[in-house]
Amino acid sequence: MCGIVGYIGKQNRAAEIVLDGLTALEYRGYDSAGIALMNGNAMQLYKQAGRVQGLKDLMATDTTFKNTAVAIGHTRWATHGIPSVKNAHPHHNAHQSIMVAHNGIIENYQEIKDKLAATGYVFTSETDTEVIPHLIDYYFMRLNSFQEAIEATLRDLRGAYALLVMSSLEPDKLYAARLSSPLVIGVLSSGAIIASDPSAFVGRTKKVVYLDDYELAIVDSSGNYKLRDFTKAKAVNKRTELLDFDSSAALLGSFPHFMLKEMHDTPATIRMATQGRLRLETNTVKLGGLETVQDQLRHIDRIVIVACGTSYYAGLVGEYLIEEIAGIPVEVQLASEFKYRSEPFSRSTAIMAISQSGETADTIAALKKVENYGVLRLGVVNAVGSTIARMTDAGVYCHAGPEQAVASTKAFASQVTVLTMIALYLSDGSSPLYKPVLKELSQLASKTEQVLARSGAIKKAAKKYAESRDFLFIGRGYGYPCALEGALKLKEVSYIHAEGYAAGEMKHGPLAMIDKDFPTFAVATGGALLEKTLSNMQEIKARKGPIVAIVTDGDKKVNKLSNDTLPIPASLEQTQPVLITLVMQLFAYYVAAHKGLNVDRPRNLAKSVTVE
């Protein structure tokens, strides 16, 4: 869950290019950072505990610093060994002639460490990664070919890795290899940038080559690259692809935080997700990414959705939509649990993986589990060309553009929009909900604009409750997954203990917690279940619990029971979740901003978790 960046080329600006890339990848981990620079046959190494800015400051004060044309760098999210200079990457061999930056986990590192230590190798860090430069050194001593030494090392490693290797033994080459963890080459006119994801070189090139598992890339200073499959020791041919998003999408603009910017991207995100797909004139939905499996889809009688975090809650909304509109039974499972469950699967079951990054290890593992089950594997993914997108048989891209803030916001809106279209696509149009939902979906973007225009009231309510120690979120029906997502958002960015609960469950336990200091966020946006929700709010009121309620414009009933009401434009129950959740995302953001917290980089979290 780290970010790695390497540059090799004709420009003597490797330090700047790599440091800019690391800054863009900080959402992947930010507890320590390091960079190694190739200077002739020597290498300079800088490491710092803390953010990339600290590393820049360290280098700025070093008079011996000399810029160069080859460098590799790393921003870390600790797995093995505490965040410290000693454990920061790049790691190296005893002579500092081999440098390695690594994202992932080497599962058999202890075994390798013991073997190498027995032959005299000395280890200076607590990391799993440090075995790699020593093992390359070990093989180089025996094989006398640097490339073969790397390939032999890669064949010994177990686990997940994206690696960058540079050596003063071969100063005009950079090596990159991948197994499970993402890695992409950005091809420049004279050189290349290799990174965990394209946001590290956005604005410098759109020409990319995605590495697949078991691939090794050897890149020279002109940017020429050779690809090899290191398990079969043979060459691989691959064309470059073009990125489909522009740099502005990845830049902050006038917003104070990416989280706020990305919430304000929601209307455009919904328009991007429905563009060319929602056809009002013919009342149809076109999903090109599913057309290749249309025949199989007709025979699907069960869908199992696997996902993590916010994507999981989008999946829960998808469950309601697909069951109600398309009449297909859906089960939503946490990917980290799914992998270790043993349950029966019939060939007429489809697996649907939902992921913003497309690189979440638990979700990848869930897909791997069923790869030989003969079941259809579908994907709802934002990151184009990501691992999950390439593992699935068919799917739908969300086209939400890069999401930088660790807490996911616009991606949730695009996932739910796509799931609504999938429900319509899978239904044969006979559902009485088909046309109304299709029409309502076409108006959703403008309704989110109305919610954003009401940020002032949401900010005011957030300030009022910012010092709360606990918070409960309740909802029924489509409001239930929204309550879960609202609680997650508040937890993620404000560190307040928040729980999402089905409103009907209150009296079976959570009501015990309620008192005048324990506020509740209630989803009370009309629909068939409003009366039920009102009685749950009564139960809270009777225990003096403060209530913030999300209501529909023109509501007369709810505001009698709530201390604060946050209205959303009227909409069908089926299309309310994006509106309700946007209010809760804004609320969480304003609470965290009011508390002066690092909204985009909350403590202990990372944007995409690429290790199990």
**Residue 309 interacting with ligand BG6 (CB under 6 A):** yes
Task: Provide the mask over 373-412, with x wherever binding to ligand BG6 is found by CB under 6 A and - wherever it is not.
Answer: ---------------------------------xxx----
**Residue 180 interacting with ligand BG6 (CB under 6 A):** no
Q: Which is nearer to ligand BG6, 44 or 199 (CB)?
A: 199
| Segment interacting with ligand BG6, rule: CB under 6 A, options 150-158, 180-188, 292-300, 354-362 | 354-362
Amino acid identity at 205: T
The least CB distance from residue 226 to ligand BG6, in Å, is 31
The least CB distance from residue 60 to ligand BG6, in Å, is 31
The crossing angle, in degrees rounded to 10, of helices 309-321 and 479-494 is 170
**Cα separation of 208 and 566, whole Å?**
45
**Residue 308 interacting with ligand BG6 (CB under 6 A):** yes
Q: Which is nearer to ligand BG6, 43 or 380 (CB)?
A: 380
Sign of the alpha-carbon torsion through 432, 433, 436, 442: negative
Q: Which of the following is catalytic: 173, 410, 447, 607?
A: 607
Record the tokens describing residue 284, joined without a space: 């149809």
**Residue 311 interacting with ligand BG6 (CB under 6 A):** yes
Coil, helix or strand at residue 181: coil
**Residue 177 interacting with ligand BG6 (CB under 6 A):** no
**Residue 273 interacting with ligand BG6 (CB under 6 A):** no
103 and 2 Cβ atoms separated by less than 8 Å: yes
| Segment interacting with ligand BG6, rule: CB under 6 A, options 114-122, 324-332, 351-359, 593-601 | 351-359
The least CB distance from residue 588 to ligand BG6, in Å, is 12
Record the tokens describing residue 267, joined without a space: 């209307």
What is the total count of residues that contact ligand BG6 (CB under 6 A)?
A: 17
Q: Which is nearer to ligand BG6, 287 or 605 (CB)?
A: 605
The least CB distance from residue 289 to ligand BG6, in Å, is 18
Is 595 noted as a catalytic residue in this protein? no
Record the tokens describing residue 491, joined without a space: 């937890």
**Residue 448 interacting with ligand BG6 (CB under 6 A):** no
Coil, helix or strand at residue 195: strand
The least CB distance from residue 311 to ligand BG6, in Å, is 4
Member of 93, 103, 363, 576 binding ligand BG6 (CB under 6 A): 363
The least CB distance from residue 411 to ligand BG6, in Å, is 7
Record the tokens describing residue 227, joined without a space: 């690809």
Instruction: Please give the DSSP secondary-structure letter assigned to residue 90.
Output: P
- Cis before 90 (ω within 30): yes
Q: Taking Cα atoms as reference points, which of 238, 70, 228 lies closest to residue 151? A: 228
Is 607 noted as a catalytic residue in this protein? yes
**Cα separation of 460 and 339, whole Å?**
43
Coil, helix or strand at residue 152: helix
Q: Which of the following is catalytic: 2, 308, 398, 482?
A: 2
Record the tokens describing residue 296, joined without a space: 């199989």
Strand duo 70-76 + 32-39: pairing: antiparallel
Strand duo 547-552 + 520-523: pairing: parallel
**Cα separation of 588 and 154, whole Å?**
44
The least CB distance from residue 382 to ligand BG6, in Å, is 7
Member of 360, 420, 536, 581 binding ligand BG6 (CB under 6 A): 360
**Cα separation of 540 and 520, whole Å?**
8
**Cα separation of 458 and 455, whole Å?**
5
Nearest residue to ligand BG6, using CB? 309
Member of 153, 355, 387, 571 binding ligand BG6 (CB under 6 A): 355
168 and 105 Cβ atoms separated by less than 8 Å: no
| Segment interacting with ligand BG6, rule: CB under 6 A, options 243-251, 355-363, 535-543, 580-588 | 355-363
The least CB distance from residue 102 to ligand BG6, in Å, is 19
**Residue 310 interacting with ligand BG6 (CB under 6 A):** yes
Calculate the CA 67 to chain-centre distance.
33
Within 8 A by CB and 6+ apart from 420, the residues are 321, 437, 441, 574, 575
Member of 68, 129, 356, 565 binding ligand BG6 (CB under 6 A): 356
| Segment interacting with ligand BG6, rule: CB under 6 A, options 62-70, 352-360, 472-480, 555-563 | 352-360
Q: Taking Cα atoms as reference points, which of 68, 94, 75 lies closest to residue 10? A: 68
For 302, phi then psi, to 5°, come to -165, 140
The least CB distance from residue 383 to ligand BG6, in Å, is 8
Member of 451, 586, 606, 611 binding ligand BG6 (CB under 6 A): 606
| Segment interacting with ligand BG6, rule: CB under 6 A, options 169-177, 350-358, 437-445, 476-484 | 350-358
Q: Which is nearer to ligand BG6, 47 or 607 (CB)?
A: 607
353 and 314 Cβ atoms separated by less than 8 Å: no
Known catalytic residues are 2, 607
Q: Which residues bind ligand BG6 (CB under 6 A)?
A: 308-311, 355-357, 360, 363, 406-408, 605-609
